[in-house]
Structure 1
């Protein structure tokens, strides 16, 4: 796996010192953690995306959910329409800063076995998504 590079990097940027801000995707849709699984899946379908950044009532990122995860929850025998995104976030609270180096971000994603990592500002607001390509 290698990191997806969304913009050309300057020739002077060393891979060790390059930060995630230059290669992250736009954050895309952000939804509140009290949203139901069904509504979140509908938002994904309408936005033509496979992931959503989940925020709390103050707009701070609390996690990230994928279409695959939400579909699995919806299709489980324990599912009810009362299940909210905050109920299923689990260990999805990993974030990174826009000044994190690429090497640090890649190490964090690999060690946590996460293919995506939300990028947040100093106030916890989502700025973008960093993704590993396969």
Structure 2
């Protein structure tokens, strides 16, 4: 797997020195961690996306959720409509900064088995998303 590059990469560009800000996708729609799974799935459907950035009440990024993760939660026998995103986020606290190199981001994503990684600023506001290609 390698990072998806949305913009052309010059032949002499060294991935060890290129940064996340150069290849990240826009963060896209964001949801509050107090939202229910059902409402979040509806937001995903309306936005025609398979993942959303999750933020707390202060607007700080707390992670990402995917449609597959939410569908798996909804299909569990102990699921109720009271389940909130903050209840299921688990280990989604991995982030990259705009100055993280592509090599560092790719290593972190492989090590943690993440398909996507939010890029956040110093205040942990979501700036974008890095994604691995398969």
Q: Which category of TM-score, normalised to the shorter sequence, fits these structures?
A: over 0.9
Distance 1:64 1:95 in 2: 10
Give the structure-1-normalised TM-score: 0.97
Deviation at 1:13, TM superposition (A): 2.9
1:15-35 CA-to-partner distances (Å, cap 9, x unmatched) read: 110001111111011100000
Partner of 2:70: 70
Partner of 1:47: 47
SS in structure 1 of the partner of residue 54 of structure 2: strand
Contact 1:9 1:22 (8 Å CA) reproduced: no
Give the structure-2-normalised TM-score: 0.97
1:132 equivalenced with 2:132 (yes/no): yes
RMSD: 0.9
1:98-126 CA-to-partner distances (Å, cap 9, x unmatched) read: 10000000000000000100000111000
Aligned residues: 134
Distance 1:72 1:42 in 2: 15
Partner of 2:56: 56
Deviation at 1:12, TM superposition (A): 4.8
Unaligned runs of 5+ in 1: none
- Which 4+ runs in 1 deviate beyond 4 A? none
Alignment of 1:112-127 (within 5 A): 112-127=112-127
Partner of 1:8: 8
1:86 equivalenced with 2:86 (yes/no): yes
